[in-house]
Amino acid sequence: MAGSYQHLRSGWSHIENMGDAYESTEELLWLVQRAIGTKEAKRLLDAEFYPMKRGEMKPDAAMLFVETKMSA
């Protein structure tokens, strides 16, 4: 499970191939569905994630965490 969430939270560089990417995506999709579902995920993406990425909204702690991990 080299592509698991446990590796992902250590940094993007731990995803070495498409198998790892598939495993991470599968786990994260399950977490989204289990925790908030499709409707809430879409709402949050439109209301917060995309505006933060476009610089229209100040990044929150979650976005700062994600950006830090994605640049690792």
Residue-range domain boundaries for the chain: 5-70
The per-residue pLDDT for range 4-56, each reduced to its tens digit, is: 776 666 667 777 788 888 888 888 899 999 999 999 999 999 999 999 999 99
pTM above 0.95, yes or no: no
Task: Map 1-58 to HEC letters.
Answer: CCCCHHHHCCCHHHCCCHHHHHHHHHHHHHHHHHHCHHHHHHHHHHHHHHHHHCCCCC
